[in-house]
C-alpha cells in the first residue's frame, strides 16, 4: 500500500500548534513555543508562508555544529554505515513501477573513506541535482567569503562604463524584503557614481556597459531551443538586475536593460545622460566612480541550492571556470567542475555536463558522483555551504510539502525535476541516527505519473530513515 501524504495533516498541525503556542506564551510556558519553532510548525506565522533556510532549525542529528564538523550524528559512537545494508533495505522501493524503467541509486557513509555502493543504472540525467556539483566546485575553487563587484568606471570623454562583475543577485534597490544575497543594488551604485561625478564638476555623461567578464553563448547548446524564448531562463550574463526580470518578464538583453536602468537612475540624480547605451570594453586602469559588492560566495551557494536557482547556478558555473583559469563559458565551467570533483576524490566516471543548473537533458551523472560530492561537502573545510541549506524534508525549500510527517526533518536533499526525470541527492539519518549520503535518480519515469514518481522517490529516502544500516 502506498504511504499517505501528510501535507494536510501537517497544515492542520501547524494551525493547532499556533494556538497552543499562543496559550503557552500567555501562560508563560516558553518551552512549548521553542518546540514548535524547532519543529518548523511556526513557519506560516513567522514567515508568512514557507520559511527561507535562514529561519529553519533542523533536528539535532542534521545540524552542523560548526562548518568543520558537518553531519554530526546524534549517536556518534554507532558503528559505521554499511552501504550494502542500505541497498538491501531500499531494494523493494527501487522496484516501484512509478520510477520507470531506468533507475539508479547509490549510498554510503559521510566519513572520509566510507565506501559507496550503487544499484541499478549507472549514468542518468540529473536535472537540478546538478547544482550540488556546481556548488561544491565553486566553493572548492573560490574562497567562500569572496565577493563579486559591480563597478562604474570613467570611460573618458564624458563617458561612464557600467561593468558587470557577475553578481547573480544584483538588484534594482534594497528594501525590507530584500534577502541576504541581495546585498548590492543599482540605486546605491547610482548614488555613489553621481556623487563622484558631481564632486568632479561633471553633470553630463554617456552611459556604456561592459558585460565581457563572461564569454561564449548566453544559452547552453545543451538546452532546449525554447528555454530562453519561452521565459524559462534568462540569457546568462555577467551584468543584470533582478536576474533580468522586470514585471515578471525576462529580458533577452539583460546587460543592456541594466545599463538603461542605471542611466535613468543617474538622470534622477541631476546628471544629464545621453540617450542610448552601447556595449564597450572598459579601458584598463580606468578610475572607479562607484562600486557595490555582492553577497559572499558561500551565501550565494546556500541560496541557489535552497531555491534551486537556475540563473545563479549558471553564473556560478562561469565564475568557477574563471577561478580554474578556463574560458568563462558553459564548457569552461563544466571542465572546471569535473576537474574539481576529481581532485576532491569524487568518482566522475561517465560525467558529462552542459550547464551548471541541470536544465540540460544532455547532462550525464552517476548516483555515485552525486553521493561523492555530498560527502565531500560534508567532510571538507570550506565546502559546507553546498549542503548546509539543502531543503529539509517536510520543512523547507523544495521539500517543504513533501514526505510524510513521520519523515519530516530526517532528510536533507536537493531535488531534480524535468519532464520524465526525477532525482533526489543529499543525506538522511537512519533509524539509529547515522547520517547516510544517498542519491536516487529516475530518468525514464512515466510522463503522466508525476505525483506517483515523486512519492516513489520519497519512499526510497524514507526507507533509509527507517533502516538500522550499521555494519
Band of the pLDDT at 367, cuts 50, 70, 90? very high
pLDDT at 333: 98
Residue 252 and residue 357 in one domain: no
Band of the pLDDT at 234, cuts 50, 70, 90? very high
Residue 351 and residue 446 in one domain: yes
Domain-embedded: residue 267: yes
**95-106: average pLDDT:** 97
Residue 85 and residue 179 in one domain: no
Q: Does the structure show a pLDDT above 80 at 36? A: no
Show the domain range for 411.
Answer: 61-142+325-466
Query: What's the pLDDT tens digit per position in 244-266?
Result: 999 999 999 999 999 999 999 99
Residue 134 and residue 82 in one domain: yes
Band of the pLDDT at 381, cuts 50, 70, 90? confident
Residue 288 and residue 159 in one domain: yes
Average pLDDT, the chain: 87
Residue 153 and residue 291 in one domain: yes
**372-387: average pLDDT:** 94
The enclosing domain of 187 has a CATH number of: 3.50.80.20
Domain-embedded: residue 310: no
pLDDT at 105: 98
Domain-embedded: residue 50: no
Q: What are phi and psi of 186, to 5 degrees?
A: -70, -30
Identify which has the larger pLDDT, 30 or 181: 181
Q: Does the structure show a pLDDT above 70 at 389? A: yes
Q: Does the structure show a pLDDT above 70 at 315? A: yes
Residue 78 and residue 157 in one domain: no
Residue 285 and residue 158 in one domain: yes
Query: What's the pLDDT tens digit per position in 157-171?
Result: 999 999 999 999 999
Q: Does the structure show a pLDDT above 80 at 123? A: yes
Band of the pLDDT at 307, cuts 50, 70, 90? very high
Q: What is the CA radius of gyration of the chain?
A: 24
pLDDT at 111: 86
Contact yes or no for 163/212 (Cβ under 8 A): no
> End of a domain among 276, 295, 314?
295
**pTM of structure:** 0.85
Query: What is the percent of the chain where pLDDT is above 90?
Result: 79
The enclosing domain of 397 has a CATH number of: 3.40.710.10
Residue 138 and residue 154 in one domain: no
Band of the pLDDT at 113, cuts 50, 70, 90? confident
Query: What's the pLDDT tens digit per position in 327-341?
Result: 999 999 999 999 999
Band of the pLDDT at 43, cuts 50, 70, 90? very low
Domain-embedded: residue 319: no
Number of domains in the chain: 3
> End of a domain among 295, 313, 345?
295
Query: What's the pLDDT tens digit per position in 4-34?
Result: 444 434 433 443 343 333 333 333 333 333 3
User: 85-121 burial by CB neighbour count: b if 16+ within 10 A, else e?
Assistant: bbbebbeebbebebbbebbbbbbbbbeeebebbbbbb
Band of the pLDDT at 77, cuts 50, 70, 90? low
SS3 of 205-269: EEEEEECCCCCCCCCCCCCCCCCCCCCCCCCCCCCCCHHHEECCEECCCHHHHHHHHHHHHHHCC
Amino acid at each position: 500500500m502506498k504511504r499517505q501524504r501528510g501535507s494536510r495533516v501537517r497544515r492542520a498541525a501547524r494551525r493547532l500548534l499556533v494556538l497552543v503556542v499562543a496559550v503557552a506564551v500567555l501562560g508563560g510556558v516558553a518551552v512549548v513555543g521553542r518546540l514548535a519553532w524547532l519543529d518548523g510548525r511556526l513557519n506560516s506565522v513567522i514567515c508568512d508562508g514557507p520559511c527561507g533556510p535562514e529561519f529553519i532549525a533542523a533536528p539535532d542529528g542534521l545540524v552542523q555544529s560548526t562548518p568543520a564538523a558537518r553531519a554530526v550524528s546524534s549517536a556518534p559512537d554507532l558503528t559505521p554505515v554499511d552501504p550494502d545494508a542500505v541497498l538491501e533495505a531500499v531494494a523493494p522501493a527501487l522496484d516501484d513501477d512509478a520510477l520507470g524503467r531506468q533507475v539508479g541509486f547509490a549510498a554510503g557513509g559521510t566519513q572520509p573513506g566510507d565506501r559507496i555502493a550503487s544499484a541499478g543504472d549507472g549514468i542518468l540525467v540529473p536535472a537540478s541535482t546538478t547544482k550540488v556539483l556546481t556548488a561544491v566546485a565553486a566553493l572548492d575553487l573560490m574562497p567562500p567569503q569572496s565577493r563579486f563587484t559591480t563597478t562604474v568606471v570613467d570611460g573618458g570623454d564624458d563617458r561612464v562604463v557600467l561593468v558587470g562583475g557577475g553578481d547573480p543577485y544584483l538588484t534594482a534597490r534594497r528594501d525590507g524584503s530584500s534577502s541576504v544575497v541581495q546585498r548590492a543594488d543599482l540605486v546605491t551604485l547610482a548614488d555613489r557614481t553621481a556623487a563622484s561625478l558631481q564632486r568632479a564638476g561633471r553633470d553630463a555623461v554617456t552611459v556604456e556597459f561592459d558585460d565581457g567578464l563572461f564569454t561564449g553563448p548566453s544559452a547552453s547548446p545543451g538546452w532546449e531551443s525554447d528555454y530562453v524564448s519561452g521565459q524559462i531562463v534568462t540569457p546568462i550574463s555577467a551584468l543584470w538586475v533582478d536576474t533580468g526580470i522586470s514585471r515578471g518578464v525576462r529580458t533577452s538583453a539583460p546587460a543592456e536593460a541594466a545599463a538603461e536602468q542605471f542611466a535613468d537612475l543617474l538622470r534622477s540624480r541631476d546628471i544629464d545622460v545621453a540617450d542610448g547605451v552601447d556595449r564597450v570594453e572598459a579601458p584598463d586602469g580606468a578610475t572607479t566612480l562607484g562600486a557595490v559588492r555582492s553577497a559572499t560566495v558561500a551565501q550565494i551557494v546556500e541560496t541557489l541550492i535552497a531555491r534551486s536557482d537556475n540563473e545563479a547556478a549558471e553564473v556560478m558555473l562561469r565564475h568557477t571556470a574563471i577561478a580554474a583559469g578556463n574560458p568563462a563559458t558553459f564548457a569552461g565551467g563544466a571542465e572546471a567542475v569535473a576537474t574539481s570533483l576529481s581532485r576532491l576524490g569524487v568518482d566522475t566516471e561517465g560525467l558529462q555536463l552542459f550547464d551548471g543548473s541541470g536544465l540540460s537533458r544532455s547532462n550525464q551523472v552517476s548516483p555515485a558522483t552525486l553521493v561523492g560530492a555530498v560527502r565531500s561537502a560534508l567532510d571538507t573545510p570550506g565546502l559546507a555551504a553546498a549542503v548546509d541549506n539543502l531543503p529539509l524534508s517536510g520543512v523547507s525549500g523544495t521539500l517543504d510539502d513533501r514526505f510524510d510527517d513521520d519523515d519530516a526533518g530526517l532528510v536533507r536533499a536537493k531535488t531534480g525535476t524535468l519532464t520524465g526525470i526525477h532525482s533526489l541527492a543529499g543525506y538522511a539519518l537512519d533509524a539509529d541516527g547515522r547520517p547516510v549520503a544517498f542519491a536516487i535518480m529516475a530518468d525514464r519515469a512515466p510522463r503522466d505519473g508525476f505525483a506517483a514518481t515523486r512519492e516513489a522517490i520519497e519512499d526510497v529516502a524514507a526507507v533509509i530513515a527507517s533502516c538500522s544500516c550499521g555494519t
